[in-house]
Amino acid sequence: MPKIAPAASSPAVRRVMQGNRGRDTKPEQSLRSAVFALGMRYRVDCAPVRGLRRRADLVFTRARVAVFVDGCFWHGCPEHFHVPSTNSEYWTAKIERNRLRDRDTDERLSGIGWTVVRIWEHDSPAEAALRVQRAVLDAS
């Protein structure tokens, strides 16, 4: 297995790997704006708890809610992730590791009383913001 990520094998793969760059704003920014518009305040892109070396996109410290915006490619979205045809073994293993890491993060956080909200990059920011709001209200 190569140690270095292979170069994107096609323009399509490259676009997916780069996320939504060039189109609209990035998914995390869209979600932040939508949540902010609901009057909610949060910390951005930080570890929810000290010592946990995982960063969440939005953190509600008092309610203990951590929100992650997962890219469809890197986190293996069931609807949109397709294994690239070149270096497919590398990508299958890589994305599987990412998914296991996500589940591990969820378990560590919920194990210490946190609520984890995972939003897919493809989710509508407005609907996702309501899910976040509900989680924070439920946890407060």
Q: Which of 39, 53, 79, 103 is the binder for Zn ion (CB under 5 A)?
A: 79
> Looking at the DSSP assignment, which residues form a beta bridge with residue 120?
70
CB of 122 to Zn ion, least distance (A): 4
CB of 71 to Zn ion, least distance (A): 8
Task: Give the closest residue to 114 by CA, choosing from 43, 55, 64, 44.
Answer: 64
Task: Please list, in sequence order, all residues whose beta carbon lies within 8 angstroms of the beta carbon of residue 24, skipping any fewer than 6 positions away.
Answer: 30
Of residues 30-69, which lie at the interface with Zn ion (CB under 5 A)? none
Say how far apart CA 67 and CA 89 lie, in whole Å. 30
Give the nearer residue to Zn ion in terms of CB position, either 49 or 77: 77
> Is there binding between residue 72 and Zn ion (CB under 5 A)?
yes
Is the Cβ–Cβ distance between 2 and 40 less than 8 Å? no
CB of 118 to Zn ion, least distance (A): 12
Of residues 87-126, which lie at the interface with Zn ion (CB under 5 A)? 120, 122
Give the nearer residue to Zn ion in terms of CB position, either 50 or 79: 79
Is the Cβ–Cβ distance between 71 and 27 less than 8 Å? yes
Give the nearer residue to Zn ion in terms of CB position, either 59 or 67: 67
Phi, psi for 56 (deg, rounded to 5) = -105, 155
Give the nearer residue to Zn ion in terms of CB position, either 47 or 77: 77
Q: Which of 8, 46, 49, 77 is the binder for Zn ion (CB under 5 A)?
A: 77
Pairing mode, strands 65-70 and 115-120:
parallel
> Is there binding between residue 82 and Zn ion (CB under 5 A)?
no
